[in-house]
């Protein structure tokens, strides 16, 4: 996927009125993700992004404290001057494209590195086990 194709997909998925607006959103979300992701997953993801997107993503220095998915959305809203609802929409529109570029294997590794709450932002269900409940067994006795 080229950067132009990525922008068009984000523009369509996010229902943004212009290519310029889609580019602003892509930049903000990739910068925010760049502040959260470290290690091999960061390097591997950057290699799969279009060059222009990878430059925005890797220009960020990862923070010392990882944010939960909700913290990520709130931080994005603060930095862009938007509402949490708008930031959640923006994150979903961009991270769906990132998930496609990453592929299932790398996306699984990325989500394993990040705190809870990112799965839905990337368009993937996030199942958790409730405390005190045992997983269902598939064996017959």
**Domains (ranges, CATH) in the chain?**
3-113 (1.10.490.110)
DSSP label of 138: -
- Which residues touch 6 (CB under 8 Å, ≥6 apart)? 26, 50, 53, 97, 101
| The pLDDT of residue 131 is above 80 | no
Q: Output the six-digit token pair for 24.
A: 């602003």
Burial classification of residue 136, based on how many CB atoms lie within 10 Å of its CB (0-12 exposed, 13-18 middle, 19 or more buried): exposed
Burial classification of residue 53, based on how many CB atoms lie within 10 Å of its CB (0-12 exposed, 13-18 middle, 19 or more buried): buried
More confident residue, 129 or 21: 21
pLDDT given at position 96: 96
| The pLDDT of residue 130 is above 60 | no
Confidence of residue 127 (pLDDT cuts 50, 70, 90): low
Question: pLDDT tens, 6-60?
Answer: 999 999 999 999 999 999 999 999 999 999 999 999 999 999 999 999 999 999 9
Q: Output the six-digit token pair for 139.
A: 């064996």
Give the mean pLDDT of 79-86: 97
| The pLDDT of residue 141 is above 50 | no
User: What DSSP string runs through 108-126?
Assistant: HHHHHHSPTT-TTTTT---
| The pLDDT of residue 132 is above 90 | no
Q: Which of these, 49, 67, 55, 22, lies nearest to 106 by C-alpha position?
A: 49
Question: pLDDT tens, 99-120?
Answer: 999 999 999 999 999 999 999 9
């Amino acid at each position: 996927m080229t950067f132009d194709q990525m922008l068009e997909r984000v523009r369509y998925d996010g229902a943004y009125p212009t290519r310029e607006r889609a580019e602003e959103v892509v930049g903000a979300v990739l910068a925010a993700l760049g502040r959260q992701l470290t290690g091999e997953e960061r390097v591997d993801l950057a290699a799969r992004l279009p060059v222009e997107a990878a430059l925005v993503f890797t220009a960020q220095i990862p923070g010392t404290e990882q944010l939960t998915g909700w913290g990520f959305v709130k931080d994005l809203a603060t930095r862009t001057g938007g509402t949490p609802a708008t930031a959640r929409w923006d994150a979903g529109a961009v991270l769906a494209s990132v998930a496609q570029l990453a592929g299932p294997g790398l996306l699984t590794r990325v989500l394993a590195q990040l705190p809870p709450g990112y799965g839905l932002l990337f368009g993937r269900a996030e199942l958790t086990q409730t405390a005190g409940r045992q997983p269902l067994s598939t064996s017959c006795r």
